Structure 1
Amino acid sequence: MNYSNSSKYIDFTGFRGQKVTEITSVGVELVNLRLESGMINVECSWRLRLSTEILVGINESQEKDFTSILKARLIFKPITNIHYFEMGDLIIEFENNYFLDLFADSSTYENYQLYLDEKLFLIGR
């Protein structure tokens, strides 16, 4: 997919090639992804896609174990690209056409945080 129209350039080179090593849920719907040298904390609406098919999202019924679905699809998958959009949305692209879409849905709290190593890289607002 072509996301070249993202409005704000941020150099995500440090994330490319990093693999997801751990996925944990925070509460009922939020999620943290630990990377080889960093972390992505998701506190906003999100969905996991395989190309154009939605596999799971924040609004799934509680009977659906979204953490297991995320783990089955993303553990040890490298990030191939990250696309940032001016309104705050973020698309994290993984190997084999998996996409984790993060939707900035609040003006009052942080939507997500990206860390490289232990250093804060980006706060989604």
Structure 2
Amino acid sequence: MEIPITGLLYHSMDSGSEHAHSLLITSWDGRPVSVHVHAISGDTSYDVGHYHRYSGFTDPAPSGVPHIHYYNVETSFNDQHIHYVRGQTGPAIPIPGGGGHYHEFEGFTTINGKIPHSHRYKGNTGRDR
């Protein structure tokens, strides 16, 4: 079964050194698709004598269809350095009672610091906006 979709193709900044594109879906099976974002925040693991906090928003993604979100936020400045928290969420998890959805996310920060290291992070996004 084929489902017609339309969207916007844009350069993805999450591809590292490789050139890549992402598709932001604007219609699904002839119906317009709205987009939304989620808040993302938390604390990293405690490593090398400190931890970091982070907060921001995911990239937009389509509403009402299966999707994930990309995120790219900067940590707090602790122990004379920052890290970046980058990745993609898991799929949408419905909130019981029709209250929208959220996504799980986890990974490791970039490596930084006088003693090079990274931190683990894990959490859930806020509800969709």
Give the TM-score, by structure 2 length: 0.29
Return the index of the structure with the highest Cα Rg. Answer: 2
* TM-score, length basis structure 1: 0.30
Greater relative CO, 1 or 2 (CA 8 Å, sep 6+): 1
Whose helix proportion is higher, 1 or 2? 1
